[in-house]
């Protein structure tokens, strides 16, 4: 009986020991994926910003500028592109909507971002674009890979349509969460005007005829939770200028927008709570379950060997009762 029990325990030990690496190296890449139907929005604010008044073409201080960013998963497009690419992909249809303190639109830039559902590597396909202009990304955008490393990454900038390094600057703690801090500086670069202009009748083509150009620079900062690769906080020191041309009335340049863009407090709280939840799920696949299965397998193996040893121990000889003397008759 003990021998049968030890064999069953040995089989269970082998099963759980084999399951440990399978959870980490087989299940994790297939289960830890960005959902194709994910929808998220984010509100950022630049308080005390400088904004161009297109009526007077003068820059002025305003109470705040609000940026609403939305990312909506396009399931149908993801399925079609995934079949061609031979791997699961995510298609995010994004929109960056900027409005002044009066609620009027300053700019509106749509974007389509296509990437691998697990690795977050960009996937090039028809439809990849920024503000209607086809692009081909070479780096990440919005999200870092699962199990982010302490190193620099290539990060795509939608304004310049270029990719440059975003540098790892150290490990910090943000709202009780261990994060990696990344920073990227985009130097002054000439960029196209948004196709949706804030003044009726003005188009990028009409502005181009005046000889006025648009320039942009930013310092981009992210606090990234490394297990999920999700930023829990971000901000930008954002600057835009109009330079030259007849539109400025002889001036060399004028500030179109300048401000420290930060996530709004309620969105910070929501993002931190969501990332903490998702972090636990990823750790289940990469740490908790693999280590737990390995420990359980070793425990069952030890118990199996113990029962086997008990089963093979020689039994103590059974004592025999001494024969009683036969009675002697007279």
Tell me if 135 is assigned to some domain: yes
Specify whether 295 is located in the same domain as 162. Answer: no
Contact 118, 135 (CB under 8 A): no
- Binned at pLDDT 50, 70 and 90, residue 321 comes out as low
**Total tally of structural domains belonging to the chain:** 2
Has residue 2 got a pLDDT over 70?
no
Tell me if 167 is assigned to some domain: yes
Tell me if 190 is assigned to some domain: yes
Q: Residue 307: which domain range?
A: 2-20+285-312
Q: What pLDDT, on the 0 to 100 scale, is given for residue 207?
A: 87
Tell me if 27 is assigned to some domain: no
Specify whether 258 is located in the same domain as 297. Answer: no
Helix, strand, or coil here: 13? helix
Q: Where are the alpha helices (DSSP H) in the chain?
A: 2-22, 28-31, 75-85, 204-210, 265-283, 289-312
Tell me if 43 is assigned to some domain: yes
Has residue 231 got a pLDDT over 80?
yes
Specify whether 230 is located in the same domain as 92. Answer: yes
Tell me if 272 is assigned to some domain: no
Q: What pLDDT, on the 0 to 100 scale, is given for residue 141?
A: 93
Contact 152, 166 (CB under 8 A): yes
Q: What pLDDT, on the 0 to 100 scale, is given for residue 202?
A: 83
Has residue 18 got a pLDDT over 80?
yes
How many CB atoms sit inside 10 A of residue 179's CB? 23
Specify whether 52 is located in the same domain as 100. Answer: yes
Has residue 328 got a pLDDT over 70?
no
Q: What pLDDT, on the 0 to 100 scale, is given for residue 330?
A: 44
Quick: pLDDT tens for 53-88.
888 889 999 999 999 999 999 999 999 999 999 999
Q: What pLDDT, on the 0 to 100 scale, is given for residue 63?
A: 95
């Amino acid at each position: 009986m003990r021998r049968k029990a030890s064999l069953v325990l040995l089989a269970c030990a082998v099963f759980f020991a084999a399951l440990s690496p399978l959870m980490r190296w087989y299940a994790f890449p297939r289960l830890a994926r960005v959902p194709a139907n994910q929808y998220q929005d984010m509100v950022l604010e630049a308080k005390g910003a400088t904004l161009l008044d297109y009526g007077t073409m003068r820059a002025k201080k305003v109470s705040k500028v609000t940026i609403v960013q939305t990312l909506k998963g396009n399931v149908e497009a993801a399925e079609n592109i995934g079949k061609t690419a031979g791997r699961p992909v995510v298609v995010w249809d994004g929109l960056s909507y900027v409005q002044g303190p009066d609620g009027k639109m300053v700019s509106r830039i749509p974007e389509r971002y296509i990437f691998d559902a697990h690795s977050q590597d960009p996937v090039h396909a028809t439809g990849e674009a920024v503000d209607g202009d086809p692009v081909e990304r070479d780096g990440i955008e919005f999200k870092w890979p699962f199990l982010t490393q302490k190193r620099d990454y290539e990060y795509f900038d939608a304004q310049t349509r270029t990719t440059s390094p975003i540098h790892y600057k150290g490990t910090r703690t943000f709202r009780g969460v261990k994060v990696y801090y990344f920073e990227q500086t985009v130097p002054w670069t000439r960029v196209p005007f948004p196709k949706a202009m804030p003044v009726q009748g003005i188009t990028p083509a009409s502005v181009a005829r005046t000889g006025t150009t648009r320039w942009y620079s930013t310092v981009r900062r992210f606090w990234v939770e490394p297990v999920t690769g999700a930023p829990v906080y971000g901000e930008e020191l954002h600057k835009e200028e109009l330079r030259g041309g007849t539109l400025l009335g002889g001036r060399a340049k004028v500030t179109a927008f300048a401000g420290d863009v930060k996530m709004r407090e309620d969105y910070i709280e929501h993002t931190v709570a969501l990332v903490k939840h998702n972090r636990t799920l990823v750790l289940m696949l990469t740490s908790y379950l693999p280590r737990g299965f390995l420990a359980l397998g070793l425990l069952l193996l030890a118990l199996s060997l113990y029962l086997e040893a008990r089963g093979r121990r020689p039994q103590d000889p059974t004592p025999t009762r001494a024969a009683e003397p036969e009675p002697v008759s007279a």
